[in-house]
């Protein structure tokens, strides 16, 4: 070991030991500890008494609940055979019903839904607060499903075989105990399973083994086909059943952004020769579809970062390199999703943060055609049918409520199925796109939604939202709750497209990884400064809102630049970046942030980690922290400890911890209505009153 490295290691050990001795709030990481839960109860009572007492709280809550329970909502479609399946929550079904309807009836707007599973009734019967987490159907009849349910909304699920004809769980059928795992069908009597087999998971809390499980045998006796390492992020098995073949694919993620793919052929395991950060997006017409996150030299060619490639399945597993280019985005565009129908590959792209939909077909080479989808907004693929060319997608923007379209991918014909009603008068508002200049000169786009007659006095209450991580783009969308609770009360809404996201492809994301993380925060500060310079708002009127990685973002924002912000909503946040990798799924994110146990990484993480950078004597805004006891992805200890430390130093803060809801923070429409009523009551109190 080099001398410098040894010195850094000693310094890091001493620093951590000192920090651990000073961190008197480690006990708040014990989620179900009675002392911790009592602390939560007291903080909830104290904060709710203020926020629920706000003059507009009840009106906002009532309107939120009306919106969430509205029968005018679009039932989210999932196509299985001749049916559209949907999960639905409303006033009468707070935990929801899983149901189906013939596809043609759904397209025609009929409502003859057949209820398959009532989650409220099941919760009463089992004495559990079940949350529906999805179902996987068995091709081709789709009369059997693997239904996943979560206790209280966490990521860990219980999976049970369900008979859609009998509308009941199958007695002595396939059953997987609670774990952050899953299963997929190989055939009616065989599953490919990734779960906790009783001998441990990865350090990130995900499966490390994949097994083939036969009906009538014990799970412990399932056949092992692949085993990863305990230090991997996780390993998952997935089968794709097509008419002529069932593909069995194993994904080993050594980190969030790297890993390998294996396939099972003739009971043998074959590793695909791919770049470690390539993403296998699916199989289309016996071709493997790949997305590249970095340049790749192979087969005498260099494929550029962001490219989407194809190769015949048999060629890939035999080591051939005859890749074909499907699409190569430019520096201002990116691929947001890839979907398949029977004969068409659908690629949803962004061009300067606006969606465009393309169809690709194979005829001795790829042919492309831009589809006549709505423009100047956000397209989200909803459901595709791999047994036909039918598909559904949503279109929305800030001022247009979401509209569901039904399409034929072969003919290109599109048909409106249903549009959401507008809950506020959008004609009064305008959307503008601006650019801020970050500290290193990079131009950062952002959207502003405001009243057309807004005065540029610097006195407008403004809410800035961003995320900046994990290659997730922030896209224009209609939000009726934001419209009624914020815009209609005179607020301005801003969405920032900072680095770390996926708005402009992998390079936009990678520019903010690890040691370059400060760029993400600089981008956010730059947007705030731009809003102030344009006299759209001022620091005392500027509020910021972020959740999860976005919670880390706003935590850094107010600890680094308290002079810029007047209110902060810090939801289900990462906050203590010294210990994040030791809490729940935290270890899986070290490819994003770095490893705080490595001195060189902690050197840059320590400069922004909000928990370590809270200081006495600062002019911090009064922050509102939210989290969930049942969040098993981002540990509630992050938010708890932040509140405890700020309170110790004499700062006024607000805190609400929902007892269920998982990482989403809420499980029912009532809980969602309350959460956002609290958030907007806080924002109105701080920025409008």
Instruction: Please tell me which residue in 262, 509, 635, 663 is annotated as part of the active site.
Output: 663
Length of the chain: 689
Burial 328-344 (b: 16+ CB within 10 A, else e): ebeeebbbbebbbbbeb
The answer to whether the beta carbons of residues 425 and 408 sit under 8 Å apart is no
Query: For residues 689 and 685, what is the distance between their CA atoms, to the nearest angstrom?
Result: 5
Quick one: 564 exposed, middle or buried, by C-beta within 10 A (0-12, 13-18, 19+)? Answer: buried
Backbone φ, ψ for residue 583 (5° rounding)? -115, 115
Residue that is written with structure tokens 């390492």 in the block: 229
3-state secondary structure labels for all residues of 577-617: CCCHHHCHHHHHHHHHHCCCCCHHHHHHHCCCCHHHHCCCC
Examine the residue annotation and report whether 54 is marked as an active-site residue of this protein: no
Sheet of strand 190-194: strand arrangement? 182-187, 190-194, 209-214, 223-227
How far is it between the farthest Cα atoms of the chain? 74
Dihedral (CA of 31, 228, 287, 510) sign: positive
Query: For residues 682 and 43, what is the distance between their CA atoms, to the nearest angstrom?
Result: 15
Q: Which DSSP category does 663 fall into?
A: G
The answer to whether the beta carbons of residues 671 and 527 sit under 8 Å apart is no
Q: How many other β-carbons are positioned within 10 Å of the β-carbon of residue 283?
A: 18
Residue that is written with structure tokens 């706000």 in the block: 54
Burial 215-249 (b: 16+ CB within 10 A, else e): eeeebeebeebbebeeebbbbbbbbebeeeeebbb
Nearest CA among 669, 673, 672, 686 for reference residue 624: 686
Query: For residues 438 and 499, what is the distance between their CA atoms, to the nearest angstrom?
Result: 10
Instruction: Please tell me which residue in 548, 588, 609, 628 is annotated as part of the active site.
Output: 548
Query: For residues 573 and 549, what is the distance between their CA atoms, to the nearest angstrom?
Result: 6
Helix (H, G, I), strand (E, B) or coil at 237: strand
Question: What angle (nearest 5°) sits at the alpha carbon of residue 497, between those of residues 496 and 499?
Answer: 125
Nearest CA among 311, 342, 347, 300 for reference residue 328: 347
Helix (H, G, I), strand (E, B) or coil at 73: coil
Nearest CA among 303, 228, 302, 223 for reference residue 262: 228
Backbone φ, ψ for residue 557 (5° rounding)? -60, -50
The answer to whether the beta carbons of residues 392 and 417 sit under 8 Å apart is yes
Beta strands in 209-300 (DSSP E): 209-214, 223-227, 234-241, 246-255, 258-265, 268-271, 279-284, 287-291, 296-298
Dihedral (CA of 663, 667, 669, 674) sign: negative
Question: What angle (nearest 5°) sits at the alpha carbon of residue 544, between those of residues 441 and 476?
Answer: 75
Active-site residues: which are they? 548, 663
């Amino acid at each position: 070991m080099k001398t410098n490295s040894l010195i850094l290691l000693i310094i890091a050990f001493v620093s951590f030991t000192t920090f651990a001795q000073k961190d008197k709030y480690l006990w708040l990481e014990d989620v179900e500890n009675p002392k911790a839960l009592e602390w939560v109860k007291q903080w909830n009572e104290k904060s709710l008494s203020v926020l629920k007492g706000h003059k507009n709280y009840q009106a906002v809550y009532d309107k939120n609940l009306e919106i969430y329970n509205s029968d005018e909502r679009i039932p989210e479609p999932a196509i299985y055979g001749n049916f559209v399946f949907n999960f639905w929550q409303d006033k009468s079904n707070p935990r929801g019903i899983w149901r189906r309807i013939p596809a043609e009836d759904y397209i025609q707007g009929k409502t003859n839904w057949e209820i398959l599973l009532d989650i409220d009734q099941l919760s009463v019967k089992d004495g559990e607060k079940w949350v529906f987490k999805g179902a996987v159907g068995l091709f081709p009849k789709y009369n059997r499903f693997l239904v996943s349910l979560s206790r209280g909304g966490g990521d860990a699920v219980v999976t049970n075989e369900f008979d859609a004809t009998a509308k009941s769980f199958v007695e002595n059928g396939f059953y997987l105990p609670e774990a952050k795992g899953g299963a997929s069908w190989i055939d009616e009597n065989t599953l490919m399973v990734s779960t906790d087999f009783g001998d441990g998971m990865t350090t990130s809390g995900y499966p490390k083994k994949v097994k083939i499980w036969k009906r009538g045998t014990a799970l412990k006796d399932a056949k092992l086909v692949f085993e990863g390492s305990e230090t991997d992020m996780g390993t998952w098995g997935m089968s794709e059943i097509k008419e002529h073949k069932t593909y069995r694919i194993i994904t080993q993620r050594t980190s969030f952004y790297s890993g390998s793919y294996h396939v099972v052929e003739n009971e043998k395991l074959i590793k695909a020769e791919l770049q470690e950060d390539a993403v296998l997006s699916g199989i289309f017409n016996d071709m493997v579809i790949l997305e590249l996150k970095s340049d790749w030299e192979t087969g005498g060619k260099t494929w550029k970062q962001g490219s989407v490639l194809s190769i015949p399945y048999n060629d890939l597993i035999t080591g051939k390199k005859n890749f074909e280019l499907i699409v190569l985005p430019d520096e201002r565009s990116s691929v947001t999703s890839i979907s398949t129908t029977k004969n068409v590959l659908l690629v949803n792209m962004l061009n300067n943060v606006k969606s465009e939909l393309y169809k690709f077909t194979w005829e001795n080479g790829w042919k492309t055609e831009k589809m006549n989808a709505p423009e100047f907004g956000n397209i989200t693929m909803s459901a595709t049918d791999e047994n036909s060319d039918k598909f559904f997608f949503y279109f929305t923007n800030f001022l247009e409520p979401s509209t569901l379209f039904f399409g034929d991918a072969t003919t290109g014909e599109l048909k409106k199925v249903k549009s959401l009603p507008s809950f506020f008068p959008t004609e009064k508002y305008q959307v503008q796109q601006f650019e801020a200049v970050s500290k290193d000169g990079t131009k950062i786009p952002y959207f502003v939604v405001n009243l057309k007659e807004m005065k540029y006095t610097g006195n407008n209450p403004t809410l800035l939202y961003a995320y900046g991580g994990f290659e997730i783009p922030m896209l224009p969308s209609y939000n009726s709750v934001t419209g009624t609770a914020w815009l209609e009360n005179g607020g301005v809404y801003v969405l920032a497209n900072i680095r770390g996201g996926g708005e402009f492809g992998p390079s936009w994301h990678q520019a903010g990884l690890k040691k370059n993380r400060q760029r993400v925060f600089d981008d956010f500060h730059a947007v705030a400064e731009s809003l102030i310079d344009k006299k759209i708002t001022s620091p005392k009127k500027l509020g910021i809102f972020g959740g999860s990685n976005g919670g880390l973002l706003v935590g850094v924002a107010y600890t680094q630049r308290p002079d810029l912000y007047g209110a902060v909503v810090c939801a289900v946040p990462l906050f203590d970046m010294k210990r994040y990798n030791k809490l729940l799924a935290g270890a899986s994110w070290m490819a994003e942030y770095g490893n705080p146990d490595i001195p060189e990484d902690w050197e840059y993480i320590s400069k922004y980690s909000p928990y370590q950078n809270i200081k006495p004597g600062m002019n911090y805004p009064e922050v509102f922290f939210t989290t969930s006891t049942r969040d098993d992805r981002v540990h509630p200890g992050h938010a708890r400890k932040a509140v405890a430390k700020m309170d110790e130093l004499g700062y006024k803060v607000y805190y609400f911890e929902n007892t269920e809801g998982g990482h989403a923070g809420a499980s029912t429409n009532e809980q969602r209505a309350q959460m956002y009523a609290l958030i907007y009551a806080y924002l109105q109190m701080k920025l409008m009153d």
